[in-house]
Structure 1
């Protein structure tokens, strides 16, 4: 019988994000892994943010806050909530975005968020799901938790790296296998068709765009 991942499992996957390593995060993730390994242009991720972000935004799995920092905001002073298990990520991103109205929430994406329901106009899970333990059917809980915080008509969007049903180069496969072995990734069974099913079971209107072995998703909350 499969055992559902616990909060400790999720937090273990965040262990690499120390203050020192966060200084190199943008160079490694947006400068190398996304464009070279996964074949997703960082500009495509940025455009996804620009298309979907609302004046009240919830960002889940915040990294360094780079995409929010560079985003074309719909208002001058957006209200941004940062949610992550890693306190270093939260502190780093909050400092970077201090020109906005920013609050932080430390929480597990697989458990209901301690945030008010139907409050936000958008929520993002960018480069998050491939780090969450379990299969995609189980990871869909993170989408449920995000959607519970977004008001009707609001947007859910993000990206994830897939192992199945998409073109994976030899070096990308090698890197993915290493990241899975370390526990940084948990996507060895994540496939494009499964992601379609996870989204279609929750949203009647969604778009899925594939770049290399990464998939960008955008959906409307009803």
Structure 2
């Protein structure tokens, strides 16, 4: 078991380099600074991270307070533990849950992020709208739901991006072969006021829940 955990940590430690410093600027044509800027503009004092990956963006985010309360939510215990350790300087709570189901949370949050999550969830964007609705359900009035996702239609998809996308979908790592910009825009409209920006193959979104 220790060997498995050590291997998982090693894989996660390579994630930042392969995703944020290689795939994002070169393949998806969206330098990480754009997503980091979205975090800096959106995170609140009480924040929920859905689909935690490695916590790279949270670890570098400019929170509005010195001691934010952070809840990490993921179905996989390995990234939860890795990210919690990375954010040990903060007040961190770990929750194992399926983002497609109502979230087992009692608190309301100032901000909820879904970074690079939707393209990993099975179904079309319209079917994945339940994930955004679940996020909105735990945001206090005036709070923010934000994130990013890789789309396959309605955005610029470079040849190498199309090849990698096809490979990742075939492996079941991505589920975005039906994810379109128009469908994402329609789902976001159901949340209220929203902003949507496209960088390469990546859509960055931000919705403020009406008070």
TM normalised by structure 2 equals 0.95
Over the aligned positions, Cα root-mean-square deviation in angstroms equals: 1.0
2:53 pairs, out of 49, 57, 63, with: 63
1:150-201, CA deviations, whole angstroms, 9 ceiling, x for partnerless residues? 001000000000000111011000000000001000000100001001111x
**Mapped partners of 2:91, 2:70: distance in 1:** 6
2:105 pairs, out of 115, 127, 131, with: 115
2:59 and 2:86 in contact (8 A); partners too: yes
- SS at 1:93's partner residue? helix
Q: Is 1:162 matched up with 2:151?
A: yes
1:92 pairs, out of 82, 90, 95, with: 82
Cα deviation for residue 96 of structure 1 reads: 0.3
2:136 and 2:191 in contact (8 A); partners too: no
Cα deviation for residue 41 of structure 1 reads: 1.1
Q: Is 1:151 matched up with 2:140?
A: yes
Aligned to 1:33: 23
**Mapped partners of 1:122, 1:28: distance in 2:** 27
- SS at 2:13's partner residue? helix
1:172 pairs, out of 156, 161, 170, with: 161
Structure 2 unaligned regions, length at least 5: 1-6
Question: Matched residue pairs, number?
Answer: 204
Cα deviation for residue 20 of structure 1 reads: 2.5
2:121 and 2:128 in contact (8 A); partners too: yes
- SS at 1:35's partner residue? helix
Cα deviation for residue 23 of structure 1 reads: 1.3
- SS at 1:125's partner residue? strand
TM normalised by structure 1 equals 0.90
Poorly superposed stretches of 4+, deviation over 3 Å? none
Aligned to 1:193: 182
